[in-house]
C-alpha cells in the first residue's frame, strides 16, 4: 500500500523523496565534517588523562597575550612539586635542513623529551617507546619520510644530517656556529599520523641532541618570557586539573620575578586544556597546526538539523494537506474493522519507507560528491560503512526518526477521520490544521532567511577585509624566513647582494613582517614625563623597511644608515620611529611626538618620525603601539620586493644567491600575498558552506511550497470560478494568492531578523575591524525570500486564474 500511494501521487511523492534525499545528503556531509573535527587525537591510546599547559600573559596596559606555549622550567617544577602530575614532556617544532646524500629538504623536526613516546603513545612500527630516543644523537622518522629518504630499505641504523636554526647564543663573530651540522642515527619508525591530530611528527628528535637550537642553559632559563615550547603532562587517575593549577600558583609567586606589584600568578595565568580538546580551542599564538572552532562545528551540526527539519516540514505539510484524497480510503478501512492504531501504524510505516528510500538516494549522492567535498575541505574525510558502522547505524536511526517525525501528525489526522463524514460525496473539510501548515511554512522560511543573512554578512566581511587599506603594500613581496641560519653580518650582505639583482626592487631586514609577528618584543615603554608605562611592540628593522613596504610617514623623517644615532648599537639616545597608535597612547599628536623622548627600560629613545598604523596582524586584532628601531643583529626575516613582470628571473636569482651564502641550509621563502590569503581560508570556506546550504534549504522549502500551492489550487478551483463569475479579474486573483503566501514569509522575517542579528553580532566581534550590521542585509534577505516565494507560486496561480469559469464550476 505504501508503494501504491507513492506511485499514485507522483508529484507529491517526487517532492517528498527529492527534498528528503537532498536534505539527508547535506546532513550526512555535514556530520562527516563534524565527526572529523571531533575525532582529533581520540585515536591515541590513554590520552584521556593528557593535558596541554598554556599561559596567558597579562601585560602592562591591560593587554592579554594568549599562547599555546609555556616557559620551559614550569613543567619540570610541576613534575617535581605537584602530586598527581605523573609525567611531563616538552615539544618544540624546529625548522631544520635534513640532508641524505644529495637530497636536501627543509623540514619541521619535532624536538622532544626522551620520554615523549611514553607520555604520548603514538604507534611505532619499529623501536621501543622507552628507549627509541634514549641516545642523544638519534631520530625517529615517519613511514612516509623513511620511504622518501631511504626508499624501501629498513632505515633503522641509517644516518642522516641535520642543520638547524642557529642557537640564540650564536654570535656574529662565530660563523662556524651557524654552519654546524649534526649526524643523527635513525632509531625507529613511526606510523604515519592521520590528519586529525594536533601533532607534527615526521621527524622526532630528543632535546638532548647537540642539534637542538636551545642550549641547556636556555632550557633552565627564566620563568618569564621563555616561550617556544609546547608542554604536555599526564595526570594520575582522580587528579582534577583545577587542583593542579591551584598548587601551581604559589610556585609561580615564588619563582617569577615580576619587577612590579603584580605577583607571578597574576602576571602569568596558566590553564590546562584536555589533549583531545586542543584542536577545537580558539587558535592561540604558537599552535603547532591550525585549530578548529567548537562554535563553528556545532553551528554546522545545527544547520544539518535545520535542513532536515525543513524537508520534514514539507512532508508533514503535503501529507496533511492531501488528507482529503485519502479520506474515503480511511473511512472504508474503518468500516471493515480497522482500528485507529492500525491506521496510524500504516501511515507511519509509509513515512519511514519514504525516508529510507530517500536515505538510499542520499547515500548515493554522498558517494558522488565526497571527492569534491574532500578537496573543498582539504582533508581526507571518507565514509567507511564497515569501519565506521556507528555512523552508518546512527544515520539509519536518524532517517527512521525523521520519518516518524514527519509522519506523526499526518498519521494522527488521517487515522482520526470519522467514517460517516469521510464517506460523503467528497470528504471535504478533512485537511488537517491550516494553522499548523502555516506555522511549518513560517519555520521553513525562518531557517532560509536566517542562513541567507548570515551568508551575506560573512562574505561582506571577507570582502571588506580583503579590500581594506592595511597601511602597507603586500603585493610582489617575497619573505625569506630562513636567514637565521647565517650570521647577522652575512644577513646584511645577503640583503645588499639581492638588492642589486635582476627584477628586484629592494630588500629590508626585520624581526617581524606583516602576518608573522611572533618575534616582536612586547616591552613596557614610558613617555617622557609620565609615570605609567604602555606595552608596545618593539620591532627591529633595517632603515629600508618602511619605504620597502610603502608605509606612509605622517610627520618627521625616516631612519637612515648615514645617521649615527639612528643605527648605533647603544639603545640610550637612539633615534626611533613610532606609529600613530603609539603617539596617541603616549598622549601626543603625530606632530607633537617628533622630538619627544620615551624610556625603554633604562634607555632613553628619541622619536624622529611617526608612521601610519599598519595592520600587520590582520583585522582580528586592533593595531597596537609600535616602536621601530634599527638593529640588524636581531633581524631574522628578509623581505624582498620583486617586479611582477620579471618574477621568474628574480626568484631564480634569489635561489642562486642563497645557495652561495648557505649551501648546507635549505631556503624557506613565501609570498606575503599568500600569507594574507591564508588569513581568510577558514572564513571563506565557512561562507561557501553557508551559501551552499542556504541555497539548498531555500530550494527544499520552495519545492514543498510549490507542492502545497499546486494542491491548494486544485482544491480551490471552484472558489476561483465563482470569484471570476462575480467579476474578479485575473490580476485580482493572482494578487490574492500572492498575498496569502506573503503573510507567512513576512512573519518569518520578523522571527529570523533578531536571531540572525544576535548570532552575527557575536561573530563580528572576533574582528577588530568589521562591517556594521546594516538593515539592508536583513531587508535584502527578506525581500529575496519573498520574491522566491512569489516566483514559486506565480506560474501555477496565473494558470488557475486564467482558466475559464465554466470549466472551474464543472470541477467535481
The sign of the dihedral angle between the CA atoms of 22, 25, 31, 36 is negative
Give pLDDT, residue 801. Answer: 66
Report helix angle 730-764 to 434-467, nearest 10. Answer: 50
Greatest pairwise CA separation for the chain in angstroms: 108
For residue 18, pLDDT over 50 is answered with yes
Give the residue, 20 or 800, on which the prediction is more confident.
Answer: 20
Most confident segment among 297-301, 445-449, 576-580, 733-737: 576-580
Most confident segment among 71-75, 98-102, 548-552: 548-552
Most confident segment among 212-216, 454-458, 493-497, 510-514: 493-497
| Alpha helix segments (H runs only) across 468-586 | 488-499, 545-548, 564-567, 580-586
Considering the chain, what is the average pLDDT of its residues? 82
CA 375, 381, 387: angle at the middle one, nearest 5?
A: 155
Structure-block grid coordinates of residue 385? 560503512
Instruction: For residues 63 and 13, state if they share a domain.
Output: no
| Alpha helix segments (H runs only) across 384-487 | 389-415, 419-422, 434-467
Give the residue, 605 or 791, on which the prediction is more confident.
Answer: 605
In a domain, 44, yes or no: no
- Pick from 550, 327, 545, 582: nearest CA to 431: 327
Structure-block grid coordinates of residue 333? 478501512
In the listed set 218, 244, 277, which residue is the last one of a domain according to the structure?
277
Q: Are 468 and 486 in contact (CB under 8 A)?
A: no
Confidence of residue 428 (pLDDT cuts 50, 70, 90): very low
In the listed set 659, 674, 689, which residue is the last one of a domain according to the structure?
674
User: What is the number of other CB atoms lying within 10 angstroms of the CB of residue 411?
Assistant: 22
What are residue 640's phi and psi, to 5 degrees? -130, 120
Give pLDDT, residue 177. Answer: 57
Instruction: For residues 551 and 443, state if they share a domain.
Output: no
The contacts of residue 261 (CB under 8 Å, 6+ apart) are: none
Instruction: For residues 309 and 206, state if they share a domain.
Output: no
Give pLDDT, residue 785. Answer: 83
- What is the rounded average pLDDT of the residues 186-205? 93
Structure-block grid coordinates of residue 110? 619535532
Instruction: For residues 391 and 434, state if they share a domain.
Output: yes
Beta strands in 145-198 (DSSP E): 159-164, 182-190
- In this predicted model, what pLDDT tens digit does every residue of 374-418 receive, in sequence order? 888 888 877 776 656 676 777 788 788 877 877 776 777 666 666
Confidence of residue 549 (pLDDT cuts 50, 70, 90): very high
Strand partners, 478: 640, 671
Question: What is residue 634's DSSP assignment?
Answer: G
Confidence of residue 283 (pLDDT cuts 50, 70, 90): low
Give the residue, 531 or 671, on which the prediction is more confident.
Answer: 671
Q: Are 596 and 528 in contact (CB under 8 A)?
A: yes
Strand partners, 206: 112
- What is the rounded average pLDDT of the residues 346-358? 84
User: What is the number of other CB atoms lying within 10 angstroms of the CB of residue 402?
Assistant: 26
User: What is the number of other CB atoms lying within 10 angstroms of the CB of residue 227?
Assistant: 17
Instruction: For residues 698 and 630, state if they share a domain.
Output: no
Instruction: For residues 402 and 491, state if they share a domain.
Output: no
Give pLDDT, residue 430. Answer: 47
Give pLDDT, residue 174. Answer: 57
The pairing of beta strand 138-142 with beta strand 182-190: parallel
Q: Is 419 helix (H, G, I), strand (E, B) or coil?
A: helix
For residue 225, pLDDT over 60 is answered with no
Give pLDDT, residue 493. Answer: 92
In a domain, 286, yes or no: no
- Percent of the residues in the chain that have a pLDDT greater than 90, as a whole number: 26
For residue 57, pLDDT over 80 is answered with no
Question: What is residue 550's DSSP assignment?
Answer: T
Instruction: For residues 342 and 440, state if they share a domain.
Output: yes
Structure-block grid coordinates of residue 2? 505504501
Q: Are 507 and 640 in contact (CB under 8 A)?
A: yes
Give pLDDT, residue 376. Answer: 84
In the listed set 674, 707, 722, which residue is the last one of a domain according to the structure?
674
Confidence of residue 429 (pLDDT cuts 50, 70, 90): very low
Strand partners, 730: none
- From the number of C-beta atoms within 10 Å of its C-beta (0-12, 13-18, 19+), residue 237 rates as exposed
Give pLDDT, residue 199. Answer: 93
Structure-block grid coordinates of residue 638? 628578509
Confidence of residue 648 (pLDDT cuts 50, 70, 90): very high
Instruction: For residues 424 and 551, state if they share a domain.
Output: no
Number of folded domains in the chain? 3
- Pick from 518, 509, 440: nearest CA to 675: 518
Rounded alpha-carbon distances, angstroms, from residue 446 to 107, 317, 440, 773: 50, 16, 10, 18
For residue 160, pLDDT over 50 is answered with yes
- Percent of the residues in the chain that have a pLDDT greater than 70, as a whole number: 84
Give pLDDT, residue 96. Answer: 86
Structure-block grid coordinates of residue 738? 500572492
How many C-alpha atoms does 396 have within 13 Å on its Cβ side? 7
What are residue 317's phi and psi, to 5 degrees? -60, -50
Confidence of residue 247 (pLDDT cuts 50, 70, 90): very high
Distance of CA 91 to the CA centre of its chain: 24
- CA dihedral (672, 678, 683, 688) in degrees, to 10, reads 100
- From the number of C-beta atoms within 10 Å of its C-beta (0-12, 13-18, 19+), residue 256 rates as buried
In a domain, 288, yes or no: no
In a domain, 470, yes or no: no
What are residue 7's phi and psi, to 5 degrees? -75, -35
Length of the chain: 812
Instruction: For residues 495 and 461, state if they share a domain.
Output: no
What are residue 573's phi and psi, to 5 degrees? 85, 5
Strand partners, 271: 54
Instruction: For residues 685 and 628, state if they share a domain.
Output: no
Least confident of 448-452, 470-474, 805-809: 805-809
Give pLDDT, residue 348. Answer: 82
**What pTM was computed for the model?**
0.78
Separation of alpha carbons 102 and 507, rounded Å: 31
What's the count of helices (H) and strands (E) in the chain, helices before strands?
A: 27, 22
For residue 272, pLDDT over 90 is answered with yes
The pairing of beta strand 626-630 with beta strand 85-100: unpaired
In a domain, 45, yes or no: no
Instruction: For residues 590 and 655, state if they share a domain.
Output: yes
Separation of alpha carbons 242 and 373, rounded Å: 41
- What is the rounded average pLDDT of the residues 677-691? 77
The contacts of residue 753 (CB under 8 Å, 6+ apart) are: 449, 453, 778, 782
Distance of CA 201 to the CA centre of its chain: 22
Structure-block grid coordinates of residue 488? 647577522
Give pLDDT, residue 165. Answer: 60
CA 263, 267, 271: angle at the middle one, nearest 5?
A: 115
In a domain, 503, yes or no: yes
For residue 683, pLDDT over 50 is answered with yes
The pairing of beta strand 603-611 with beta strand 575-579: parallel
Host domain of residue 742:
2-37+294-465+681-809
In a domain, 235, yes or no: yes
Separation of alpha carbons 616 and 63, rounded Å: 17
- In this predicted model, what pLDDT tens digit does every residue of 742-795 receive, in sequence order? 888 889 899 999 998 988 888 788 777 888 888 999 999 888 888 887 887 776
Please identify which residue in the block is written with the cell numbers 604602555.
Answer: 534
Give pLDDT, residue 1. Answer: 75
Separation of alpha carbons 791 and 712, rounded Å: 16
Instruction: For residues 617 and 756, state if they share a domain.
Output: no
Structure-block grid coordinates of residue 499? 638588492
In a domain, 472, yes or no: no
Most confident segment among 434-448, 508-522, 750-764: 750-764
Amino acid at each position: 500500500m505504501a508503494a501504491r500511494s507513492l506511485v499514485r501521487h507522483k508529484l507529491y511523492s517526487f517532492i517528498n523523496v527529492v527534498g528528503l534525499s537532498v536534505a539527508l545528503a547535506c546532513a550526512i556531509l555535514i556530520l562527516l565534517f563534524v565527526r572529523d573535527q571531533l575525532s582529533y587525537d581520540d585515536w591515541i591510546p590513554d590520552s584521556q588523562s593528557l593535558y596541554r599547559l598554556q599561559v596567558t600573559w597579562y601585560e602592562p596596559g591591560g593587554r592579554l597575550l594568549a599562547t599555546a606555549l609555556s616557559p620551559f622550567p614550569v613543567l619540570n617544577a610541576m613534575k617535581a612539586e605537584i602530586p598527581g602530575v605523573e609525567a611531563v614532556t616538552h615539544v618544540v617544532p624546529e625548522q631544520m635542513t635534513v640532508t641524505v646524500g644529495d637530497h636536501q629538504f627543509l623540514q619541521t623536526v619535532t624536538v622532544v623529551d626522551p620520554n615523549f613516546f611514553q607520555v604520548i603513545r603514538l604507534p611505532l612500527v619499529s623501536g621501543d617507546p622507552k628507549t627509541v630516543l634514549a641516545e642523544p644523537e638519534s631520530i625517529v622518522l615517519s613511514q612516509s619520510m623513511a620511504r622518501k629518504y631511504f626508499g624501501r630499505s629498513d632505515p633503522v641504523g641509517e644516518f642522516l644530517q641535520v642543520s638547524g636554526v642557529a642557537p640564540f647564543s650564536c654570535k656574529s663573530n662565530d660563523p662556524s656556529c651557524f654552519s654546524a651540522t649534526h649526524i643523527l642515527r635513525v632509531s625507529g619508525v613511526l606510523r604515519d599520523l592521520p590528519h586529525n591530530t594536533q601533532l607534527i611528527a615526521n621527524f622526532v628528535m630528543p632535546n638532548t641532541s647537540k642539534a637542538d637550537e636551545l642550549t641547556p642553559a636556555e632550557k633552565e632559563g627564566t620563568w618569564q618570557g621563555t616561550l617556544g615550547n609546547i608542554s604536555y603532562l599526564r595526570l594520575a587517575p582522580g587528579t582534577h586539573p583545577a587542583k593542579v593549577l591551584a598548587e601551581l600558583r604559589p610556585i609561580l609567586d615564588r619563582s617569577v620575578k615580576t619587577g612590579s606589584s603584580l605577583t607571578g600568578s597574576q602576571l602569568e595565568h596558566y590553564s590546562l586544556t584536555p589533549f583531545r580538546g586542543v584542536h577545537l580551542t580558539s587558535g592561540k599564538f604558537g599552535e603547532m597546526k591550525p585549530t578548529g572552532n567548537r562554535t563553528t562545528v556545532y553551528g554546522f551540526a545545527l544547520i544539518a538539523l535545520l535542513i532536515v527539519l525543513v524537508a520534514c516540514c514539507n512532508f508533514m505539510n503535503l501529507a496533511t494537506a492531501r488528507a482529503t484524497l485519502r479520506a474515503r480510503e480511511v473511512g472504508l478501512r474503518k468500516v471493515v474493522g480497522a482500528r485507529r492504531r492500525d491506521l496510524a501504524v500504516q501511515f507511519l510505516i509509509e513515512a519511514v519507507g519514504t525516508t529510507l528510500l530517500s536515505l538510499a538516494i542520499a547515500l548515493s549522492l554522498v558517494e558522488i560528491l565526497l571527492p569534491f567535498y574532500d578537496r573543498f575541505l582539504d582533508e581526507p574525510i571518507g565514509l567507511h560503512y564497515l569501519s565506521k558502522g556507528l555512523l552508518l547505524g546512527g544515520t539509519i536511526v536518524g532517517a527512521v526518526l525523521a520519518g516518524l517525525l514527519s509522519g506523526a501528525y499526518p498519521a494522527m489526522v488521517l487515522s482520526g477521520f470519522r467514517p460517516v463524514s469521510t464517506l460523503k460525496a467528497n470528504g471535504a473539510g478533512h485537511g488537517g490544521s491550516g494553522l499548523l501548515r502555516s506555522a511549518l511554512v513560517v519555520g521553513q522560511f525562518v531557517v532560509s532567511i536566517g542562513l541567507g543573512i548570515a551568508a551575506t554578512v560573512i562574505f561582506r566581511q571577507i570582502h571588506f577585509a580583503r579590500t581594506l587599506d592595511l597601511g602597507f603594500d603586500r603585493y610582489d613581496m617575497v619573505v625569506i624566513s630562513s636567514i637565521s641560519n647565517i650570521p647577522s653580518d652575512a644577513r646584511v650582505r645577503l640583503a645588499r647582494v639581492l638588492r642589486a639583482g635582476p627584477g628586484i626592487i629592494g630588500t629590508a631586514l626585520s624581526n617581524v613582517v606583516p602576518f608573522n609577528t611572533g618575534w616582536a618584543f612586547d616591552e613596557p615603554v614610558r613617555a617622557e614625563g609620565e609615570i605609567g608605562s604602555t606595552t608596545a611592540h618593539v620591532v627591529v628593522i633595517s632603515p629600508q623597511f618602511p619605504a620597502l613596504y610603502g608605509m606612509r610617514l605622517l610627520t618627521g623623517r625616516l631612519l637612515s644608515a648615514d645617521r649615527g644615532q639612528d643605527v648605533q648599537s647603544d639603545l640610550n639616545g637612539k633615534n626611533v620611529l613610532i606609529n600613530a597608535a603609539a603617539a596617541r597612547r603616549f598622549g601626543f599628536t603625530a606632530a607633537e611626538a617628533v622630538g619627544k623622548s620615551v624610556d625603554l627600560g633604562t634607555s632613553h629613545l628619541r622619536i624622529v618620525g611617526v608612521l601610519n598604523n599598519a595592520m600587520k596582524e590582520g583585522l582580528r586584532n586592533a593595531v597596537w603601539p609600535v616602536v621601530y628601531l634599527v638593529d640588524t643583529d636581531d633581524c631574522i626575516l628578509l623581505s624582498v620586493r620583486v617586479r611582477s613582470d620579471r618574477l621568474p628571473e628574480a626568484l631564480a636569482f634569489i635561489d642562486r644567491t642563497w645557495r652561495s651564502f648557505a649551501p648546507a641550509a635549505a631556503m624557506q621563502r613565501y609570498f606575503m600575498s599568500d600569507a594574507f590569503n591564508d588569513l581568510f581560508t577558514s572564513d571563506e570556506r565557512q561562507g561557501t558552506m553557508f551559501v551552499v546550504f542556504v541555497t539548498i534549504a531555500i530550494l527544499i522549502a520552495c519545492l514543498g511550497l510549490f507542492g502545497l500551492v499546486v494542491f491548494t489550487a486544485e482544491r480551490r478551483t471552484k472558489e476561483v470560478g465563482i470569484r471570476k463569475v462575480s467579476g474578479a479579474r485575473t490580476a485580482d486573483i493572482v494578487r490574492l494568492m500572492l498575498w496569502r503566501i506573503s503573510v507567512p514569509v513576512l512573519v518569518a522575517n520578523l522571527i529570523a531578523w533578531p536571531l540572525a542579528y544576535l548570532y552575527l553580532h557575536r561573530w563580528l566581534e572576533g574582528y577588530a575591524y568589521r562591517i556594521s550590521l546594516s538593515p539592508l542585509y536583513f531587508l535584502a534577505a527578506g525581500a529575496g525570500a519573498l520574491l522566491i516565494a512569489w516566483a514559486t507560486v506565480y506560474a501555477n496561480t496565473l494558470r488557475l486564474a486564467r482558466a475559464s469559469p465554466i470549466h472551474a464550476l464543472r470541477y467535481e
